Amino acid sequence: MHKKYVVLDFWSSSCGICRREFPLVQDLYEQIQQEKNEVFLTSVFVKYGDEQFADGQKILADYNCTFPMVSVSGNDSILKYLNIQGFPEIIILDENKEVIFKGSLERAKKKLAKY
């Protein structure tokens, strides 16, 4: 199934705000699953040092999060391309994979409500 919008939630293990927002991201994920079949949400675990994909999975499991996760290294070119300088950072891509939103979770939820 083709998704019209992609929501990316960039976070790191050392980000306290990210951890506090995980339940809110989970709520948004569940809402999207129920209501918006044109939206795909995934978290992007930004790994630093010797962190592994499994470390991110464990953190999300500790918060009972079921949304999908991918990971990139802290020096991945996607971070520079998207100009991500801090966490958490929400990016919304449209059907052409163009960035149509970059900012906080609360603002992202308002943006998504329009679709």
**pLDDT by residue (tens digit) across 48-78?**
999 999 999 999 999 999 999 999 999 999 9
Mean pLDDT (the chain) is 94
Confidence category of residue 112, pLDDT binned at 50, 70, 90: confident
Q: How far is CA 64 from the centre of its chain?
A: 16
Whether residue 10 contacts residue 92, with contact meaning beta carbons closer than 8 Å, is answered with no
Task: Report the number of distinct structural domains present in the chain.
Answer: 1
Q: State the CATH number of the domain containing residue 79.
A: 3.40.30.10
Strand pairing partners for 44? 10, 70
DSSP, collapsed to helix, strand or coil, labels residue 31 as helix
Identify the pLDDT of residue 8.
98
| Rounded Cα–Cα distance for residues 33 and 109 (Å) | 14
Q: Is the pTM of this model over 0.85?
A: yes
Identify the pLDDT of residue 35.
83
Whether residue 56 contacts residue 47, with contact meaning beta carbons closer than 8 Å, is answered with yes
Residue 1 clears pLDDT 90, i.e. is over it: no
Q: Which amino acid makes up residue 45?
A: F
Q: Which amino acid makes up residue 89?
A: E
Residue 14 structural domain: 5-113
User: 42: phi > 0 → left, psi -120 to 50 → alpha, else beta; which?
Assistant: beta
Confidence category of residue 90, pLDDT binned at 50, 70, 90: very high
47 phi and psi angles, rounded to 5 deg? -90, 140
Measure CA of the first residue to CA of the last residue in the chain; give whole Å.
18
